Structure 1
Amino acid sequence: MSAAFGARLAAAVDDHGPLCVGVDPHPGLLEAWGLPDDASGLRDFGLRVVDAVGGRVAAVKPQSAFFERHGSRGVAALEDVVAAARAAGTLVVMDAKRGDIGSTMGAYADAYLRDGSPLAADALTVSPFLGVGSLAPAVEAALGSGRGLFVLCLTSNPEGATVQHARRGAGADVETVAAHVAREAARLNAPAVAAGDAMGSVGLVVGATTGDAAARTGTDLEAVAGPLLAPGVGAQGAGPAELAAVFGAARRQVLASSSRGVLRAGPDAAALRAAARSAADEAHAALRG
Structure 2
Amino acid sequence: MIQDHEAFPGTPGTLPFGARLSEAMDAHGPLCVGIDPHPGLLRAWGLADSPAGLRDFTLRTTEALAGRVAAVKPQSAFFERHGSAGIAVLEEALAALRDGGTLSILDVKRGDIGSTMAGYAQAYLGDGPLAADAVTLAPYLGYGALAPALELAESNQRGVFVLALTSNPEGAAVQHARDPQGLPVARSIAEAAGISNAPARAAGILGSVGLVVGATIGSAVADLGIDLRASGGALLAPGVGAQGAGARELERVFGAARRQVLASTSRAVLGAGPGIEDLRAAAASAAAEAHSALR
Which TM-score bucket, shorter chain as reference?
over 0.9
Q: Distance in 2 between matches of 1:14 and 1:38?
A: 37
- Cα separation, 1, equivalents of 2:105 and 2:98: 11
Correspondence for 1:234: 241
Q: Is the 8 A contact 1:164 1:178 kept in 2?
A: yes
Counterparts of 1:137-216 in structure 2 under 5 Å?
137-170=148-181, 174-196=182-204, 198-216=205-223
Corresponding residue to 2:135 among 112, 124, 134: 124
Tell me if the contact between 1:233 and 1:261 (Cα under 8 Å) persists in the aligned partners: no
Cα RMSD over matched residues?
0.9
Unaligned segments of structure 1, at least 5 residues = none
Tell me which residue corresponds to 1:3: 15
TM-score normalised over the length of structure 1: 0.96
Q: State the Cα distance separating 1:253 from its structure 2 match.
A: 0.1
Per the alignment, residue 62 of structure 2 pairs with: 50
Question: 2: distance between equivalents of 1:56 and 1:137?
Answer: 32
SS at match of 1:235: helix
Q: Name the CA distance, whole Å, in 2 between partners of 1:268 and 1:180.
A: 44
Residue 285 of structure 1 and its aligned partner are, at CA, apart by 0.7
Q: CA deviation at 1:270?
A: 1.1
Aligned ranges 1:1-289 → 2 under 5 Å? 2-115=14-127, 117-170=128-181, 174-196=182-204, 198-288=205-295
What amino acid sits opposite 1:189 in the alignment? N
Deviation digits for residues 123-166 of structure 1 (CA, Å, limit 9, x no counterpart): 00000000000000000010110000000000000000000000
Runs of 4+ residues deviating >3 angstroms? none
CA distance in structure 1 between the partners assigned to 2:92 and 2:249 by the alignment: 35
Query: How far has the Cα of 1:46 moved from its partner?
Result: 1.0
Counterpart secondary structure, 1:93: strand
Per-residue deviation, 1:194: 1.2
Structure 2, unaligned runs of 5 or more: 1-10
1:240 CA displacement: 2.1
What letter matches 1:120 in structure 2? A
One-letter amino acid of the counterpart of residue 49, structure 2? D
Measure how far apart 1:178 and its partner are.
0.3
Shift of 1:234: 2.2
- Between the aligned partners of 2:232 and 2:213, the Cα distance in structure 1 is 14
Identity within the alignment, %: 67
User: What letter is aligned with 2:66?
Assistant: G
Q: Give 1:284's aligned amino acid.
A: H
Q: How high is the TM-score relative to the length of structure 2? A: 0.94
How many Å apart are 1:58 and its aligned residue? Answer: 0.1
Q: Secondary structure at the match of 1:120?
A: coil
Separation in structure 2 between the aligned mates of residue 141 and residue 33 of structure 1, nearest angstrom: 38
